[in-house]
Amino acid sequence: MKRINNLSFWIVFPAIVFIFFLIPVLAVLSSVVGDYSDNWNHLYNFVLFDYIKNSLFLVIGVSIITLIVGTGTAWLVSNFNFFGKRFFEWALILPLSIPPYILAYTFTGLFDSYGTLNNLVRNIFELDQSFIFFPNIRNIFGAIIVFSFTLYPYVYLVSRSAFLNQSRTVLESGRILGLSRFEASFKLAMPMIRPAIIGGLMLVIMETLSDFGAVEHFAIPTFTTGIFRTWFGMGDLTTAMQLSSFLLLFICIFLFIENRSRKNAEYVSNSTTHTPIKVEQLNKNYSMFAFIFCLLPLFIGFILPVSELIVWAIYYNPSFFNEAFLTSAINTITLALIAAILCSIISILINFSIRINRNSILRFLSSFLSLGYALPGLILAVGIVQTSTFIDSSLLEKTSFAITGSLFGLVLAYIIKSYALSNNTISSGMEKISSGIDDSARILKSTGWNLLGRIHFPLLKTSFFTSILLVTSEVVKELPATLILRPFNYDTLAVSAYIYAAEERMRDAAAPSIAIILVGLIPIIIITRMIRSNQKY
């Protein structure tokens, strides 16, 4: 058999990766044309409307709050000087390190009837133990608060970047026409950054629809909780796949709306020069308002939950570094590093294939693979289980369950979910490599693997290790895919936190939650350094 030459490898490899990414999704969608059981009829008649209603209510509520908080804080720190501005520029990103399910666990311990804050109020004012000051947080309104104050940094980041890249001449033109600074911002600046805002909002919506831990902990019936209960409560994988198809349809609708909202629209200035926005100094009263407005989301989304977790871990559970915690931590880091390294290698190979072939089809495949970030981990888990079960039962009869329940499916889910992060990092690094270097290398007979190994990879080392860090942080936080696809008795930090919270052992969930947050701070540090290096003064 003839060996596959280099050129064909760089075309075949992306196609193979595309097939691996596509199979789980097709496995889920194939359920739509199958038979519908009595379980489906029950769900359709009694709970499907609740799933749709609650999911839409969550999306609308979270979108409104994140839009106000994200764009409001970005507008303040981009256009004005006020007390604490330099701190808020990077600190407002910190809530992104806390997954929604961890904030849900923490808020339960804080605001429950006999939680920390209600007990504190009763003790300070010597009130009866039946007195409840803070209302119950375990409802859909509590879930909206949880999602909003952990996900608003998506909108903040893109809005701030867009504000910084706006030209001063546009706003000055509005001021000449009689608009105040506030009117110029909301009639000119905000509409011009609409694509950026919508892009950040889409990430928020995807995360809200795909979440399982927070809505399950608050007992809110949504698609994700319905899929999980149908599968493990009713033992009906087919109906769970059909529910997953509906959730996937919801996501496709939002992606279509986002794409149509930007189609044939231009939001750029015709000016060939860029003049940075003039930053104004706020007076004392407005400065205090800006400080409070920026501090509130940071306090709710990061300072308050982290403080409570530290108190739980140290004061109530001083022996949190036990054998179970260390085992979960080792499992998590091992899985995360394997997935991160494989994902980064795949991303480099695909981006290199695009570079040397300049093939529009390969570029489309890479863009399609990046959509995996929008797929809920629960849907990926359903598709991978269905696929691996089929392979085990049909192709590997003698070694049944060789793939199902192994780490292979879990690592595959991590790679599909995280490829967009890795691809964005690697492609950005690849774009900085001059095409002249490739031309010179070809003259010296350096092509294919030799060109990648001796020329490109040394120049991509920073991007490669940044990709590993970003994917590692994403994998550590992933809960639903890990919960379903992990081997028997194989716990990670996310699974440990979920199990403790499910058993109402909130204080025991503190240690794994803190570890997840610490790892989640890694991309925050990277993003902060990028913002500071690119900021214009």
At 93-146, the pLDDT tens digits run: 999 999 999 999 999 989 888 888 888 888 888 888 778 888 888 999 999 999
pLDDT at 270: 47
- Mean of the pLDDT values across residues 279-304? 93
Stretch (H or E) spanning 449: helix 448-451
The boundaries of the domain holding residue 20 are 1-34+317-537
Give the helix/strand (H/E) hosting 81: strand 80-81
Closest CA to 95 of 149, 156, 145, 148: 149
Q: List pLDDT tens digits, range 226-251.
A: 999 998 888 888 899 999 888 888 88
**78 has pLDDT over 60:** yes
Give alpha helix (H) positions in 35-115: 38-46, 48-79, 85-91, 100-111
Q: What percent of the chain has pLDDT over 90?
A: 34
d(CA 132, CA 461): 56
Total domain count, the chain: 1
Q: What is the pLDDT of residues 46-68, one digit of tens each?
A: 999 999 999 999 999 999 999 99
| pLDDT attached to residue 148 | 97
In a domain, 513, yes or no: yes
In a domain, 476, yes or no: yes
Q: Which residue, among 143, 120, 149, 145, has the nearest Cα to 133 in the 3D structure?
A: 120
- What tokens were used for 443? 């003259």
Paired tokens of 435: 């095409």
CA distance 457 to 443: 19
Distance (Å) of CA 25 to CA 30, 126, 238, 385: 9, 57, 14, 11
The verdict on residue 70 lying in a domain is no
On whether the CB atoms of residues 377 and 210 are closer than 8 A, the answer is yes
Which residues have C-beta within 8 Å of that of residue 246, sequence separation ≥ 6? 48, 51, 223
Res. 536 pLDDT band, cuts 50 70 90: very low
| Assigned domain for 525 exists | yes
CB 115 within 8 A of CB 108: yes
Residue type, 526: I
User: Is 536 among the domain residues?
Assistant: yes
Is 87 a domain residue?
Answer: no
**C-beta separation of 51 from 218 below 8 A:** no
CB 214 within 8 A of CB 338: no
The single-letter code of the amino acid at 431 is: E
Q: How far apart are CA 206 and CA 59, in angstroms?
A: 9
Report, as an integer, the average pLDDT of 203-220. 91
Percentage, residues of the chain above pLDDT 70: 86
CA angle 141, 145, 146 (to 5 degrees): 115
Please give the pLDDT value at position 272.
45
Distance, in Å, from the CA atom of 515 to the CA atom of 467, rounded to the nearest integer, reads 20
For the full predicted model, state whether its pTM sits above 0.85.
yes
Q: Where does residue 271 rank: exposed (0-12), middle (13-18), buried (19+ CB within 10 A)?
A: exposed
Express each pLDDT in 445-501 by its tens digit.
677 788 888 888 888 888 898 889 889 988 999 999 999 999 888 999 999 999 999
Tell me the C-alpha distance between 269 and 493, whole Å. 47
> What is the average pLDDT value for the chain, to the nearest integer?
84
> What is the number of H-type helices and E-type strands within the chain?
27, 2
On the question of pLDDT at 356 being above 60, the answer is yes
Summarize pLDDT for 254-266 with one digit per residue, the tens: 777 766 665 544 4
433 domain-assigned: yes
- Confidence (pLDDT) at 526: 79
CATH number of the CATH domain containing 444:
1.10.3720.10
Q: How far apart are CA 345 and CA 33, in angstroms?
A: 36
Domain-located, residue 193: no
Q: How far apart are CA 167 and CA 438, in angstroms?
A: 36
For residues 494 and 482, is the Cβ–Cβ distance under 8 A?
Answer: yes
